[in-house]
Amino acid sequence: MHKSITHINILPAFLLALGLASIGILLSNAIIEFKAMDRTVVVKGLAQQQVEADTAIWPIVFTEAGDQLDQVTAAVEQKQNAVVAFLKLHGFSDEEISLGQVTVVDKKAQQYGPEQVGLRYLVSANMSVYSQSPNQVRHASSKISELAKQGIAIDGDRYTNRIEYLFTGLNDIKPQMIEQATHNAREVALKFARDSDSTLGKIKSARQGQFSINDRDSSSPHLKKVRVVSTVEYYLVD
């Protein structure tokens, strides 16, 4: 009677231990499979393209000096008309030409200025050309010496007075550049998978980088380099 009771007590314990061992094996396999699925590779794909600017902003600034303010302002007005005539001669319309602010500096009115100021008044005129024909702007700006012959010295040395070339057609080339960047990323991932004796799986995540538009070089600001980098994470399968 004692032996049968002992046998009955041991059997459930044995079955429980066997069940726990089986669950442990299953969990171990599940963890291994989960870690295998978590094997990934992160790659970056670059796409870049050279384009021409489609818009140009040309600031035109000149200064007139003198001791009689009325004479100086009259000279500035006359020169403004001459600049407008020059621009129209090179094909720009009234809509593309803007007359900006005219500023006057009275050197004698400056509190901490020197007693000997030379010519008292400095009058600066600001104009600009906004055109969707950058090549036309480039051609006209190369002929600026025609204004110098009329006594009009255009201030183009300062950074703020340089011609600004813009590319506004980014949305038109975005899809093909994103496709190219993604393709290049996949090529890198495939090579990595082959080198590691793995197979490239599905995409786990993807991030599109910011598009950048920069001058191709300092001497050709009308030529732009558009660039984007996409980051893609792929699963690796043994």
User: Could you list the pLDDT tens digit for every one of the 238 residues in the chain?
Assistant: 455 555 556 656 655 565 555 555 544 444 444 445 578 999 999 999 999 999 999 999 999 999 999 999 999 999 999 999 999 999 999 999 999 999 999 888 776 655 666 789 999 999 999 999 999 999 999 999 999 999 999 987 777 789 999 999 999 999 999 999 999 999 999 999 999 899 999 999 999 889 999 999 999 999 999 999 999 999 998 7
157 and 178 inside one domain = no
45 sits in which H/E element: strand 40-52
- Which of 166, 199, 223 delimits the end of a domain? 166
Q: Is the pTM of this model over 0.85?
A: no
176 and 160 inside one domain = no
Task: Return all residues near 86 (Cβ < 8 A) that are at least 6 apart.
Answer: 140, 146, 147
125 and 147 inside one domain = yes
177 and 76 inside one domain = no
220 and 200 inside one domain = yes
Q: Quote the tokens at residue 97.
A: 């030409």
For 163, other C-beta atoms within 10 Å of its C-beta total 18
31 and 61 inside one domain = no
Residue 134 · residue 54 · CB < 8 Å: yes
Owning domain of residue 153: 55-166
Q: From CA 229, how far away is CA 203, in angstroms rounded?
A: 16
Sign of the CA dihedral with 89 first, then 91, 93, and 98 last: negative
Domains identified in the chain, total number = 3
94 and 48 inside one domain = no
CATH code where residue 100 lies = 3.30.70.2970
2 sits in which H/E element: helix 2-37
